[in-house]
Amino acid sequence: MSDVIIEVKNFNAYYADKKAVKDANLKIEKNKITAIMGPSGCGKSTLLRSINRINDLVPEFRIEGEILFHDRNIYDRETDVYSLRRRIGMVFQRPTPFPMSIFDNIAYGLKLIGVTEKKEIKEKVRWSLEKAALWEEVKDELDKSALKLSGGQQQRLCIARAIAIEPEVILFDEPTSALDPVSTQKIEGLIEELAEEFTIIIVTHNIGQAARISDYTLFMYQGEIVEQNETTKILRNPTHEVTQQYLSGKIG
């Protein structure tokens, strides 16, 4: 790997006594799409949510080991978690627009990071909606409530909101599992384009989705990363038995 942006080292994650991620080691390459796959409950979301410390909000959550972002451990005491989450953004499974206008959904985050000039806010709202392939659909109704958009449009708005503040990495946790096939296709295309500017980590249950968009795949089983490789290699020639079983639909 040439350009490693994140490195997870000997990482364990617990909810009270329950060990949800076991001795994870992985590297994430810049401007690539890395997919995390595996059966339900295997620890995919826990691993993903550890990367921007959003799981800190869960009582009884604790970790061992390190996650390096640009060679610095994000779990160091000096880490400013707020700015970490600004640099490593997140899009969730269900669209989570704020109950405000389409425009304000994006402007809100910009104001929080100190963008105050109206012209700049307008430009960034447009830029991020264009990047999220939503601009054409909403440009004449930016004052409309975001809650009135369709599910697929809401998810693209959440992606626009995530990219507006220009993070380096975007974490996606099953971003299309609540969406119809057309919206799913749009979002997959979008994620591929985003990888030109951002580094993407995506949890997915959908083997086809991983095949279509990801460069690398990690396969998890019962808290462990059992296999990681280039996606084409894993899909063509899985070496671990549980990966083979998952890919052939025997577990999942």
Ligand X SMILES: Nc1ncnc2c1ncn2[C@@H]1O[C@H](COP(=O)(O)OP(=O)(O)OP(=O)(O)O)[C@@H](O)[C@H]1O
> Looking at 40-48, 139-147, 162-170, 178-186, which segment touches ligand X (CB under 6 A)?
40-48
> Should residue 45 be labelled a site residue for ligand X when binding is judged by CB under 6 A?
yes
Tell the smallest beta-carbon distance from residue 38 to Mg ion (Å): 10
Which residue of 33, 43, 75, 160 would you call a contact of ligand X, by CB under 6 A? 43
Q: Please report how close the Cβ of residue 85 comes to ligand X at its closest, in angstroms.
A: 18
Q: Which of residues 11-70 bind Mg ion (CB under 5 A)?
A: 45
Residue owning tokens 């998890």: 220
Q: Is 155 in the site for ligand X (CB under 6 A)?
A: no
Query: How many residues at the interface with Mg ion, by CB under 5 A?
Result: 1
Q: Is 252 in the site for ligand X (CB under 6 A)?
A: no
Say which amino acid occupies 93: Q
Pick between residue 104 and residue 173 the one whose CB is nearest to Mg ion.
173
Closest CB 26 distance from ligand X, rounded Å: 15
Binder of residue 128, out of ligand X, Mg ion, none (CB less than 5 to 8 A by kind): none
Give the residue with the Cβ less far from ligand X, 61 or 198.
61
From residue 14 to residue 33, the character string flagging contacts with ligand X as x (rule: CB under 6 A) and all else as - is -x--x-x-------------
**What is the residue type of 175?**
P
Question: Mapped to the 3 state alphabet, what secondary structure does the chain carry?
Answer: CCCEEEEEEEEEEEECCEEEEEEEEEEEECCCEEEEECCCCCCHHHHHHHCCCHHHHCCCEEEEEEEEECCEECCCCCCCHHHHHHHEEEECCCCCCCCCEHHHHHHHHHHHCCCCCHHHHHHHHHHHHHHCCCHHHHCCCCCCEHHHCCHHHHHHHHHHHHHHCCCCEEEEECCCCCCCHHHHHHHHHHHHHHCCCCEEEEECCCHHHHHHHCCEEEEEECCEEEEEEEHHHHHHCCCCHHHHHHHCCCCC
In the bound state with ligand X, the residue whose beta carbon lies nearer, of 56 and 166, is 56
Question: Which residues in the 48-87 window bind ligand X by CB under 6 A?
Answer: 58
Cβ at position 36, least distance to ligand X in Å: 8
End-to-end CA, the chain: 30
The pair phi, psi for residue 117, each rounded to 5°, is -70, 125
Nearer to ligand X, 1 or 58 (CB): 58
**Shortest distance in whole angstroms from residue 171 CB to ligand X:** 12
Give the C-alpha separation, 95 to 105, whole Å.
12
Q: Output 107 or 187, the one with its CB closest to ligand X.
A: 187
Name the residues that contact Mg ion, by CB under 5 A: 45
Name the residues that contact ligand X, by CB under 6 A: 15, 18, 20, 38, 40-46, 58
